[in-house]
Structure 1
Amino acid sequence: MKGKNGMHPILFKIGPITIGTYGVFVSLGVFLEIVVGRYLSRKEGIDPEALTDFYIYSIIMGFIGAKLALIITDFKEFSAHPFEYLFQNIRYFGAFYGGFIVAVLFAIFFIRRKRLSFLKVADITSVSLPLAQAIGRWGCFFAGCCYGAPTDLPWGLVFPAVPLCSDGTRIHPWPFYEFLLDISIFAFLFNFFPKRRFSGQSFIFYLLFYAVGRFLLEFLRGDEIRGLYFNKSVSLSQILAIAVILGVISLYLFLLKKNKNEENE
């Protein structure tokens, strides 16, 4: 069913119950993330039940963080329509990096409390998370959010309710681009997981690959709700991506040195 928020925001209806396409894809992504995470946790000697609890709580905290990040970047719109912003319109779902930061902070607390290995859990999550992201981006695609900038490329699409498409202008299918990025990261890290040299290496690669890919893809975005700065030339996601890249380089050098010292002992 086509609607005002995108191509097919509503998957189907059963009486008064509406099943949104976005919610279905996000739920599917979360389910598969947990399945993959449990599979890898057994290989790492981590209790699958503890990891499942960690995933569920982290996802909840991630949703809250994503919403807070979007409110901060678009406070004017939030002030005008707070209820719709928080609970109704799918395009107000949230900003990934905000959710990721809050989820990581919660992860540190949860993992310490459960006495789990932070780096092992981070490695497992780094494999399963991009799979969830990849599937979730199809929800964005059908909901019509996170849309791209105008393009003359033959695969450009017209989204019914996107302002840029009001005159028939074609735009980049941006969610599909990130799907390709995320599924590629998942495929690489899933195969790399048993080959990693030290705990935390998959985590580092995920952060680096996603940050670089997201930084580049942001140039093809067309929506301004995500927060634009410096005369609208740089998005909040790009600023955070640069910070992540710098942090990842430092973390990689630290863990590499730590691993070499342990091997020499």
Structure 2
Amino acid sequence: MRLFPSFNTFIEIGPLSIQWYALCILTGAAIAYFIGQYNFKKLGYSKEILSDYVFGLLFVGIIGARIWYVIFMWNELYASNPMEIFMINHGGLAIQGGIFTGLLYSCFFFKKRDIPFLIAGDAIMPGVLIAQACGRWGNFFNQEAYGSAVSLNFLKSLHLPQFIIDKMYIHGTYYQPTFLYESIGCVLGFLIIFFVIRKFQKKQGIQFFSYFIWYGIIRFFIESFRTDSLYVFGLKTAQLVSIAFVIVGMIGFIYCHLKGNRVKDSA
């Protein structure tokens, strides 16, 4: 057994290895799960509900994120080597694809258990921001999802820890740590939604739609710095989806505020 045998590997046990990428994703999912459990408990629901939900969501979300990435990177990465599709440990998960499939799974799951979708969304979506924040550190360990080339002095001007600066030196060039920008943005979004919006929330669904507004804005901004973006018709896919997120979030936010059901203390 070897701990930290390489920068992107957490542990090796014989022929098996656990990558930091996977560990970051699982850590984020665990934190989001406990935040959701806390919210569901306050609403009076059984904790078993979220326990049943999270494993299916994680599986469906990862599959959706992978499919989304493979579709838009087919010619560049997978057409000549289809078996690489299954090498998720090499990176290549598009979070927006995971969100879409996760929402479909959530609609099915909570409808089957007769739990209003917006109540569940309010309980779960703030924690998703923490999961995404942790997941971006997986990109750091894989040295991917970085931005445009910059100088060493630029990175030093951001007052970053030295280990981040060192690992932003990739193939002889320093790059912007966009993984860090998005991670910080997700944490800030969680704090605003969980501790401010939730406190003053009067109608169901406000936290749920606030997530889409916040993440859409953050991702659109971050994507302008990225050099490894997915494209469709010459446009950055993530920015197009981000615009859709913001529009849907604003429409939903306004609808909930005007016509939504009032928040209840318990189910």
| Band of TM-score, shorter chain | 0.7 to 0.9
| Cα displacement string for residues 170-207 of structure 1 (whole angstroms, at most 9, x for unaligned residues) | 10111111110111111222213243111100111111
Map 1:221-240 to 2 at 5 A: 221-223=226-228, 226-229=229-232, 231=234, 234-240=235-241
Superimposed CA distance per residue, residues 105-139 of structure 1 (whole angstroms, 9 cap, x where no aligned partner): 11111111111121111011112111111112111
**Is 1:229–1:235's contact at 8 Å kept on the other side of the alignment?**
yes
Amino acid at match of 1:145: E
Aligned with 1:201 (options 188, 206, 215): 206
| Shift of residue 259, structure 1, vs aligned partner | 3.6
Work out the CA distance in 2 between the residues paired with 1:123 and 1:218. Answer: 26
Assess, with a 3 A threshold, how the Cα gap between structure 1 residues 194 and 52 changes in structure 2: closer, same or farther.
farther
Q: Quote the residue 1:87 is aligned against.
A: 87
Q: Which residue of 1 aligns with 2:27?
A: 28
Q: Distance in 2 between matches of 1:129 and 1:210?
A: 10
> Cα RMSD over matched residues?
2.2
Deviation at 1:14, TM superposition (A): 2.4
Distance 2:61 2:142 in 1: 20
Percent identity over paired residues: 25
**Contact in 2 for aligned 1:158/1:171 (Cα 8 Å):** no
What amino acid maps onto 2:217 in structure 1? V
Which secondary structure state, in structure 2, belongs to the residue aligned with residue 198 of structure 1? Answer: coil
1:159 Cα offset (Å)? 4.4
Contact residue 204 and residue 248 of structure 1 kept, 8 A? yes
2:155–2:176 contact (8 Å) kept in structure 1: no
Larger fraction in strand: 2
Structure 1: gaps spanning 5 or more residues = none
| Structure 1 SS opposite 2:149 | coil
Quickly say closer, same or farther: Cα 1:103–1:10, change in 2 above 3 A: same
Q: Distance in 2 between matches of 1:16 and 1:52?
A: 31
Query: In the TM superposition, what are the counterparts of 1:19-168 in structure 2 within 5 Å?
Result: 19-76=18-75, 77-87=77-87, 89-92=89-92, 94-152=93-151, 153-155=154-156, 157=165, 159=167, 165-166=170-171, 168=172
CA shift, 1:212, in A, is 0.4
**1:247 match:** 248
Question: Is the alpha carbon distance of 1:59 and 1:89 closer, same or farther for their aligned partners in structure 2, counting shifts above 3 Å?
Answer: closer
Matched residues in 2 for 1:145 and 1:86: separation? 18
Query: Structure 1's 261 and 20: CA in aligned 2 closer, same or farther, altered over 3 A?
Result: closer
Structure 1 contact 158–169 (Cα < 8 Å) conserved: no
TM-score (normalised: structure 2): 0.86
Task: Provide runs of 4+ in structure 1 moved above 3 Å.
Answer: 155-160, 259-262
1:207-241 Cα deviation digits (max 9, x unpaired):
10000010000011121xx412454xx31110001
Q: Contact conserved, 1:148 with 1:220, CA < 8 A, in 2?
A: yes
Asked if 2 retains the 8 angstrom alpha-carbon contact of 1:134 and 1:182, the reply is yes
- Residues 58-109 of structure 1: CA deviation (Å, up to 9, x unaligned): 12111111111111111212221211222255222x2111110111011111
Q: How many residues align?
A: 249
Partner of 1:217: 222
| Structure 2: runs of 5+ lacking an equivalent | 157-163
